[in-house]
Structure formats: structure tokens, C-alpha cells
Amino acid sequence: MLFESFDLVSALATLAACLVSVVLLLAVSQQLWQLRWAATRDKSCKLPIPKGSMGFPLIGETCHWILQGSGFQSSRREKYGNVFKTHLLGRPLIRVTGAENVRKILMGEHSLVSTEWPRSTRTLLGPNSLANSIGDIHRNKRKVFSKIFSHEALESYLPKIQLVIQDTLRMWSSNPDPINVYFEAQKLTFRMAIRVLLGFRLSDEELNQLFQVFQQFVENVFSLPVDMPFSGYRRGIRARETLQKSLEKAIREKFQNSQGKDYADALDILIESGKEHGKELTMQELKDGTLELIFAAYATTASSSTSLIMQFLKHPAVFEKLREELRGNGILHNGCICDGAFRVDNISSLHYLDCVIKEVLRLFSPISGGYRTVLQTFELDGFQIPKGWSVMYSIRDTHDTAPVFKDVDVFDPDRFGQDRTEDKDGRFHYLPFGGGIRTCLGKNLAKLFLKALAIELASTSRFELATRTFPRVMPVPVVHPVDGLRVKFFGLDSNQNEIITETETMLGATV
């Protein structure tokens, strides 16, 4: 017994010594990791580098960022201030909050900073994408792409968008069970991008298969750039390769069946715009362009659509006030959308609807911010932002801390009304679509889609939350409810626009 006790004590002592060694090794390696990045400060500048933590070697604070969600930015801002350093997605990063700081970054494009997304994003979106372009190439690409979002183009898309939304709401209403709004909104925006914007004639089965691949692509756009079997980065690359093959096939089929269309889609306009600007796009440029269009129309719009529905559920008075505006402007009559009312100019004239969409985008901005690379050392809030570092300006956190907004946590569309106009007090306090020369080109299409969805929702009888409480919201990779938002949509009579009860359904079946 004595020897057995001695052996146990010896084993425990050895284990404790090993644990202490591991802890010391981790502590030393983490300290060296912190010093490694502190040494990158610009020695010619007397200002200190921003405060913050670089996390653990190689992975940095990526795990904290994913697990903490919106709390990551706010907790570090409270501890270190509006400008702090961290290490995310395989690279050092300085995160920036506040209108003046953001203004300096956005207006310093090509002089102080240049766009550079994380490596995983750059690879998966492709070298020919607008997001990855810089300098003259970016300026020329914007000219080519801008025509896709002109007033005339939006007017041509709108009838098709309305049909896709109507068809989707009918499917939601015919489902006897509650639906997952975020998942279904993703399917809706993907369908809109494929069939309306790009004009691809895919069967439902092909569309569903492509949707599944695209989901895998989007899930790994912001992943650690570790190219190993079974890594998210590798899955994203495989998804991109599959998508590129499918898109090339769809583009070639579209060229062969381009006659007899009743409207010009975004791909038609993109090709013609390229020719007008003296650049006939190659097949690779078309594939990268269409993939970027789908990506831009998909995740962020699905996020905002879900947030819009959640706010209608939380604030029925807002929903009813919107219906009053629609009735007052002759768009809604007896619960139905009036013929000929669904036009871009009519929708743009709805001031309260515009306020509702602005407030959704303020409180639930789909993306957290944008990335830039520092071209020359400059100053923010008394700190040096060293040349070569990456900077991320925060959209969501800037909205949350903007002094121009009263009661920032309250959903209040009237803050954008003519009597208050809180967004007019500072140019960079409100920037859901970014700013400067990289302002989102598709912002008018995104707002038009959200307004069309709101109008169609207002023409339905009702929908209600299927859970006891509203779900928590996650900000990564875009804002979305943790359970997707479970909502029951009720069946509608297409003529009367009233709820169909079980009795009425049974009577209809016997006629």
C-alpha cells in the first residue's frame, strides 16, 4: 500500500509539473506573440500603437469573436476605446468606431488606405470581383456595374421581384407548420438573384442544388485561411469551383436562349455596359461578376428581410401605421394591392415606409463593417495606425454609439421622419451601405426589395411568432436570429384576403 501511494503521488507530481510547463509555455508564447506585433509600430511616428489584445498565437481572438458575437466589439471598445488592436481570421487588425474616425478611413481610399478583405474572402470572391479591385480598375468596374442599378433597370426588375415575393409568401402561408424565416429568406433572395437579376432558367431541382452549394460557399467566406482537408477554407474553395462550373453552364445556356424576353436582366445590362465602356467581359469576368451579384443580393438582403419581419412582429403599431400610409396613397385597398400601384416612383414616395427600412438598417445593419489596408501611417484618436496593418471600420458599432440618435436601442422609425431627421446631423453616423467611393452599388436595389416585401406583407392578413419569446440575434457572419425566427403565416384567400379557417378549407374541399 505504501509503494502504491508513493507511485500515485509521484504520478500526480509529474502530471502537475507537465501542466505547469504547458501553462508557462503558453504564457511565454502568448507574450512573445504580443511583442511580435508591438514591434511593428512605425518607429518614425511618436504616437503609440492602439491598445488591445492579439489573443493566442496564429488564431488570435477569432474564437472570441465568433463566440461573443456583438459583445466582442462592445466589450473591447469599453475597455480600450474606439480604436483598438486585435487579431482575427489570420491577420492583425485595428478596429475603428465613431463617425469622425470612419470618415477619415472612407475618405482616405487610395491615399491613406486601400481595400483588402481577409484572405479567405479575397480567394472565394475571386480576383476579378469588384470588392477586390483597386485604383483605376475599381473605378472602371464601378462604371460598368452601376448601370445594373439605374432607375430604368430597377423598374424592369420590379414586376419580377413582386412575383417572386408573392409566390414565396403563398408558399409560406400554405405551410401548416411555422417556417424558419431566415432560412426561407435566404432561399427567397437567392431565387430573386438567379431568376430575376441573372435571368437563368433553372428548374426547381437545379435551383435547390445550387442553393445548397452556395450556402456552403457563404458559410466559409469569412473563415481562417487554413488550406487543409476538412477546413472551412477548403470547403469554401470546393463550393466556389462547383458554383463556377454551374454558372458557366447557365451563362452559355442563357446566350443560346436569349430571344423573346420581356425585360432586360442584370446580366444583359452588365454585358452591354461593358461593351459601352470599351471592355467586352471575358467568361471568367462574367462568372466572377455573377457570383458577386448573387453574394451581394443574398446574405445581407436575407438578413434585413428577417429583421424587418421580426420588427413588424414586435411592433404591430408600426405595421398598422405602414398600412395606413399604403391606403392613404392608393396602394392598398380592401387589403389588396391596387393594379398599377407597384412602380418604383410610387414606392419611393412612401415616406413612412422609407423610415421603417432605414430604422431596420440602423438597428440591424447586416454586416459589421469593411476592411482596409493601411498605405501610410496616420493618426486616429491619438494612436498611430501603422503602415501595412489592416483596419476594419465598424458600421454597427458606430450606429450604436452615434450621439445623433436618441434612445439608440429603441426601434423608432419616426427618428427619420421630417420632424426629426436624426440621420441628417452627421454624414458618417449612419452608414448601413458603407461610404466614400466604395458605397454599396446595390443599395437602391436592396431597399427596393425590402420595401416590396413590406408592402406584400402588409397586404396579407397576419403572421405571428411561433415561439414564446423572440430569439437572440447573432451578428456573425451577418445579423440573424439564433433559431432563424420561427413564424406561422396563415393561409389567405386570394380574392378576399382573409384568414382561411379549417372549416372554410374543409367546405372548399367538398365543393
Please write the tens of the pLDDT for every residue from 96-138. Answer: 999 999 999 999 988 999 987 778 888 888 877 888 787 777 8
C-alpha cell at 199: 435571368
Query: How far apart (Å, rounded) are the C-alpha atoms in residues 406 and 362?
Result: 12
Angle at 264 between CA 259 and CA 268, to 5 degrees: 80
CA separation, residue 267 to residues 86, 196, 245, 270, 448 (Å) = 40, 10, 17, 5, 19
Q: How far apart are CA 394 and CA 99, in angstroms?
A: 10
What distance lies between CA 501 and its chain's CA centroid? 38
User: Which residues, 6+ apart, have CB-to-CB distance to 129 below 8 Å?
Assistant: 288, 289, 291, 292
Distances (CA, A) of 61 to 56, 226, 235, 289: 7, 16, 22, 33
Grid coordinates in use for 78? 469599453
Residue 308 grid cell = 424587418
| C-alpha to C-alpha distance for 488 and 501, rounded to whole angstroms | 14
Say what the pLDDT of residue 271 is. 82
Question: Residue 501: what pLDDT?
Answer: 35
Q: Assess contact for 364 and 305: CB atoms under 8 A.
A: no
Compute the distance between CA of residue 238 and CA of residue 442 in angstroms, rounded to an integer: 27
Tell me: the pLDDT tens digits for 192-229? 999 888 988 888 899 999 999 999 998 888 787 888 88
| Separation between Cα atoms, residue 456 and residue 485, nearest integer Å | 19
pLDDT in tens, the chain (511 residues): 544 555 666 666 677 767 766 666 666 666 666 666 777 788 899 999 999 988 888 788 888 887 777 788 888 999 999 999 998 877 889 999 999 999 999 999 889 999 877 788 888 888 778 887 877 778 888 888 888 999 999 999 999 999 999 999 999 999 999 999 999 999 999 999 998 889 888 888 999 999 999 999 988 887 878 888 888 889 999 999 999 999 999 888 888 776 555 567 888 888 888 787 777 788 888 888 889 889 888 889 999 999 999 999 999 999 999 999 999 998 887 767 877 778 999 999 999 999 999 999 999 999 888 889 999 999 999 999 999 999 999 999 999 999 999 999 999 999 999 888 787 777 899 999 998 888 888 999 999 999 999 999 998 768 999 999 999 998 877 899 999 999 999 865 533 333 333 333 333 333 2
Give the chain's mean pLDDT. 85
φ and ψ at residue 14, rounded to 5 degrees = -65, -45
pTM of the model: 0.85
Positive or negative torsion for Cα 367, 368, 374, 375: positive
CATH of domain 135-510: 1.10.630.10
Query: For residues 338 and 32, what is the distance between their CA atoms, to the nearest angstrom?
Result: 68
Give pLDDT, residue 31.
Answer: 64
pLDDT of residue 312: 97
